A and B are shown apart, each in its own frame.
Chain A
Amino acid sequence: MPGGIAFEFPQLYFTGLWLTIQISVLGLLGALVLGTLVAVLRVSPIAPLGWIGAAYVEFFRNTPLVALLFFLFLGLPLIGLRFSTDTFENIFRAAAVGMGLYHGAYVAEVVRGGLLGVDRGQIEAARSLGLSYAQMLRYVQLPQTFRSVIPPLGNIGIALVKNTSLASTIGVAELLYAAEIVESRTFRAEEAFIAATLLYLVLTIPLGIAVNALERRMLVAR
């Protein structure tokens, strides 16, 4: 049976899968919060805030995620910042924070597109009715954005799940790490990697189907 090797080393593979899921969920939550904040900064009428948002997005979109992970894991402790005194906890948190920071830039791009897609007349109408800028964002602009950004955000979620594999480079024992360990113990590379491949597909394919279904439903709704 392809992938059967996962049941020979359940400790490695299923703990790895669980870590992959944990990092994905934490990273995605972080990316959503951070990305929405940065998007609001970018469309805000105060120019310097817009520059800060743009700098954030461009920096993280144009540097590799691995470099960021190494920075969080090796660099930060040297300047006195450590996520946890426990080594394993530290790399796990570094990975989750790295995922959030990096994908936050992509989320920001999507949400910004959604915010700009809201009809300007509505914004002007809300402001002239006496809503403050914050109230307008809260009650008019953001609610309309969330609907249209769900499918592209799903795509970013898929990318994020795949990118959690990079956490293996800083020593987080997630799925790919499990495959590499099993390969080095058994020399059965095909089996070891196919098991990890199947477990990744278990996560990404349903997500992809869900995103496609949502996309189709949104098209009908428009």
Chain B
Amino acid sequence: MRPDTWPMFLNPAIWGFLFEGLRETIYIALASVAVSFPVGLLFALGRLSRRRWMRWPSTFYIEGVRALPVLLLIAYFGIKGSALFRPIFGQDFELPLFWAGVLGLSMYTSAVLAEIIRAGIVSLPRGQSEAARALGLSHAQTMRSVILPQALRLMVPAMMAQLTTVIKDTSLVGTIGVFELLRQGRTIYTQFFNPVEVLLIVATVYFVICFALSRASRRFELGYTPRAARIKIQDIALRDQAA
């Protein structure tokens, strides 16, 4: 470490630059969660459906996407995202890299959320859905007013934990040219030649956000989670949070 590498951080412009990156990081994470939650819910319901034409494609999507590296999805949409949407939006359409990244990230996150939601639904006692059906509710009504409200409440901690993974994974979107936090940091250290200091600061920012979120997620245990569900969710979380 050279002695002249720290004073540059006294310059507020450097912090402003990093802050812009942080804002982009948060936008990517929020957009990805907003897209992947409804998609994940659909695929979870699809996988639980009794109709084969819904169950098989949903299972295929969930298992297939979860078996792939997120960076591969992001890199693919970064290169071909625009071309994919041209048939819909016309020949001149350019997909902003921000949305290409969100698309790749959401595809992966939706598959993970689908598994988390499914674990929550499956873990509810069978009596719940049987009672609802016996009372004359249709399958859709049972899901909407009995099963989902309970299952989603169980899922809140797991989903918040998944949000920390999404925030970590936003750093991958930098590789396709979106100027999020890590990418801004890289720009700084290529200028000032001080990767050690910059990476320590950037890592600390990620750490503070993710650590606070994962701590908070433990507080959000709403009601009683069945043991089987907790174990299942932990397993999913381990496999997919590492990503």
**A residues whose Cβ falls under 8 Å from a Cβ of B:** 58-59, 61-68, 70-71, 74-75, 78-79, 102-103, 106, 109-110, 151-152, 155-156, 158-160, 162-166, 168-169, 176, 179-180, 183, 189-190, 193, 196-197, 200-201, 204-205, 208
Contacts and interface: CB of A to CB of B under 8 A. Distances in A.
B135 interface: no
Contacts of B182: 64, 66-67, 70
B238 A110 contact: yes
A201 B69 contact: no
B9 to A, nearest CB: 16
Contacts of B79: 183, 189
The 9 closest A-B pairs by CB, nearest first: A159-B242, A165-B69, A62-B210, A155-B239, A64-B171, A162-B69, A74-B195, A75-B196, A204-B67
Contacts of A179: 72, 75
25 contacts: A62-B168, A64-B203, A67-B171, A67-B199, A71-B195, A71-B203, A75-B196, A78-B1, A109-B238, A110-B238, A158-B67, A159-B238, A159-B242, A162-B67, A164-B69, A165-B71, A168-B71, A176-B72, A189-B79, A193-B72, A193-B76, A197-B68, A200-B68, A200-B69, A200-B72
Interface of B: 1, 63-64, 67-72, 75-76, 79-80, 83, 164, 168-169, 171-172, 174-175, 182, 185-186, 189, 194-196, 199-200, 202-203, 206-207, 210-211, 214, 234-235, 238-243
**Interface of chain B, helix or strand or loop or mixed?**
helix
A8 B238 CA distance: 37
B146 to A, nearest CB: 29
B193 to A, nearest CB: 8
